[in-house]
Amino acid sequence: MTRAFPEGFLWGCATAAHQVEGGNHNNDWWEFEQRGGIRTGDSSDPACNHYHRFAADFRLLRQLGQNAHRLSIEWSRVEPARGEFDLSQLRHYRDVLTELREQGLSAMVTLHHFTSPLWFTRRGGWAAAGSPAAWLPFVRRVAEELGHLVSFWCTLNEPLIYAYMGWLDGEFPPSRRGDWRGTFRVLANLRRAHEQAYRDLHKITPQVPVGIANHRWPLLPHNPTRRLDRLAARVGDRLMTSWPVGRGRLQRVVEAPSDFLGVNHYSRELVRFTLRRPGQGFVERSVPPGLPLSDFGWAVQPDWLREALLELKPLGKPVYITENGIASARDEPRQSFLCASLGKAWEAIQAGVDLRGYFHWTSVDNFEWARGYSMRFGLIGVDLETQERQVKPSAELYARIARANALPDE
């Protein structure tokens, strides 16, 4: 039986500005890099030099059968100082989006993907009062100037991961550890920011659906027969999927106002209750045993993607996989990962999930935040000396699937 996907299904890749562009010197990640925050000592400049190579990069994606692309607009370029918009950067992104359109790629645009301008972080970043109001003029300006070239808006990328990595775990700027108050403040502000952006975007670009690229990384009990592990997993999972809505109440991010659900899915983890780690919420995390691991050390089990999609079915909204991929220096694991994951996505569609698109993380091997260039998620390799692109077999495989809008027979 051919496993065909619905007509009009979107086949693309996802990227984030700071990870591919190069030359972003006015945001918190650059400052963090100068302070030695990148474990590998790598520099995000020039990354994949995509800022200058976007046209050739998009042409290649088009040749590889893709019909959509998820990218982010770098806030620190467009609004380098509060209230001052750089028209040349707005023109740059207009050129980027126009090129996508000319190549027949629908654009899904993320308005906050981990980086913030220095003027914003110096006033306290997302933990500070008034942060939503400081971000929204950027959102409105981008919508006014570029909205006609955009097919989907993602207001935020992975709000929970962002808050967790920056305020609890410390691997992301502002590198705070165990700062629970900060974490909740950040999440409350991101929630307000999203809700207002949702309303503003609807006014300015009523034809463009708005959503969030929300991660789904389930936490399960290390020992399912131990009550405290079960409790830790339940509480942890609830906390890692929700944000505060006032008066001590939590709302699942998937229940926030949105026209579609974006899901970023990579893996799962086990949690064990321990009195030794109060800063980390009294839990110790570990990798589910008995499964292959990616270069990141994340357990690989494509069936979890199907389960993540099925969880969204009761919400009755269109779903897009806004990120899914595997860190692997060798390409073979990526090829089997792609076939298996897309097979599971297809199964979820058969089970009634309104899945309308898949954005693989990622097109070109890029700057993986604090891990620098050590994690290769790309369908396309990049020679960091020459910036030459090398199409991997997984990219050709993805191209065959995208062109056929169906999976090869098993």
**CB of 372 vs ligand FCB, minimal distance in Å:** 12
Nearer to ligand FCB, 153 or 273 (CB): 153
Strand 106-110 and strand 242-244: the pairing is unpaired
Amino acid identity at 377: F
Say if residues 312 and 261 touch (Cβ distance below 8 Å).
Answer: yes
269 binds ligand FCB (CB under 6 A): no
Nearer to ligand FCB, 46 or 124 (CB): 46
Subset of residues 158 to 177 that bind ligand FCB, contact rule: CB under 6 A? 158, 161
Which of these segments, 142-150, 154-162, 168-176, 352-360, binds ligand FCB (CB under 6 A)? 154-162
**CB of 331 vs ligand FCB, minimal distance in Å:** 17
**CB of 362 vs ligand FCB, minimal distance in Å:** 7
Subset of residues 81 to 140 that bind ligand FCB, contact rule: CB under 6 A? none
Which of these segments, 100-108, 156-164, 181-189, 330-338, binds ligand FCB (CB under 6 A)? 156-164
Eight-class DSSP state of 364: B
Subset of residues 345 to 374 that bind ligand FCB, contact rule: CB under 6 A? 361, 368-369
32 binds ligand FCB (CB under 6 A): no
Q: CB 40: neighbour CB atoms within 10 A?
A: 13
Amino acid identity at 367: F
**CB of 379 vs ligand FCB, minimal distance in Å:** 14
Q: Up-side HSE of residue 152: CA atoms within 13 Å toward CB?
A: 29
Within 17-112, strands assigned E span: 68-72, 106-110
Subset of residues 297 to 336 that bind ligand FCB, contact rule: CB under 6 A? 323
271 binds ligand FCB (CB under 6 A): no
Helix, strand, coil proportions of the chain in percent (round to 5)?
A: 45, 20, 40
Nearer to ligand FCB, 151 or 322 (CB): 322
> CB neighbours of 405 closer than 8 A, spacing ≥ 6?
4, 5, 7, 9, 11
**CB of 223 vs ligand FCB, minimal distance in Å:** 27
The closest alpha carbon to 141, from 211, 89, 70, 105, belongs to 89
> CB neighbours of 23 closer than 8 A, spacing ≥ 6?
45, 46, 51
How far is the first Cα of the chain from the last one, in angstroms, to the nearest whole number?
9
**CB of 115 vs ligand FCB, minimal distance in Å:** 10
Among 167, 172, 373, 377, binds ligand FCB (CB under 6 A): 377
Q: 282: helix, coil or strand? A: coil
24 binds ligand FCB (CB under 6 A): no
List of residues contacting ligand FCB (CB under 6 A): 16, 19, 157-158, 161, 264, 323, 361, 368-369, 377
